[in-house]
Amino acid sequence: MGYWAYYLGFIVLAYALQYPWLLAGIVVFFLLRRFVPDPFVLLRTMGRIRQLRAQVQSNPANLTARRDLAGIYLERLRPRAALQLLDEARKREPMNPELLYLTGVARHRIGEHESALEALVSAVQTDSRLRFGEPYLVAGDALTRLKRDEEAEDAYERYVESNSSSVEGYLKLALTRRRCGHRDAAQAALQEALDTFSQLPSFRRRQQLSWWLRAQVARLYT
């Protein structure tokens, strides 16, 4: 259910307390979604985060614990806390592809897009098949923020080549191609997004439902 738990909670409260103005909370959480973690992520990682913190404190050389804790911080939308752990870990293994990838994600999320690209490029140079192309997706997002759409298009193309079941990847490729003026190619990528969703198993459809909805909206003006 993810973020819908927040929305459902406000609807139930508004109905139970008969305070319609509480529905404004749905709008607030939608606008702040970038900064408010998924409630199920908070619950799922609550016990794990305590264990990993204890492991990091007891053994500073435990890179696995630092990496896993940094990953949880990223899930909880705490990229600066994640970056601190990753910087410390990379002092011991500077070319570890997983650490480089997570560093790129953290830097991108705090707005350091150029330095994020450096880490992501190093990650794929070390392991070209890392996470089924996820570094290319994040690189595309960083390049988009830097308004380097031609390069972002190339990054998204590389991503969908590695992960052809990503509705998100095809949608972002379509939107980037549209900004570049490649209308026919944009429509083709958008159709790939919709076709991909229809071919996914039900559990994957639930995971990518929000991207399918965005693709449906994009179809109206692409």
- Residue pair 166/184 in contact by the 8 Å Cβ criterion: no
Q: Give the pLDDT of residue 11.
A: 44
In whole angstroms, give the CA distance from residue 121 to residue 81. Answer: 22
Are 91 and 63 in contact, with CB atoms under 8 Å apart? no
pLDDT more than 90, % of the chain: 73
134, 119 Cβ separation under 8 angstroms: no
Q: Using one digit for the tens of pLDDT, what is the confidence trace for 174-219?
A: 999 999 999 999 999 999 999 999 999 999 998 899 899 999 999 9
Weakest-pLDDT range from 36-45, 97-106, 133-142, 198-207: 36-45
CB 83 within 8 A of CB 106: yes
Tell me the C-alpha distance between 101 and 138, whole Å.
Answer: 9
pLDDT digits (tens, 9 = 90+) for 115-163: 999 999 999 999 999 999 999 999 999 999 999 999 999 999 999 999 9
Number of Cβ within a 10 Å radius of residue 67: 19
Six token digits for residue 213 = 């909805």
Residues in the chain: 222
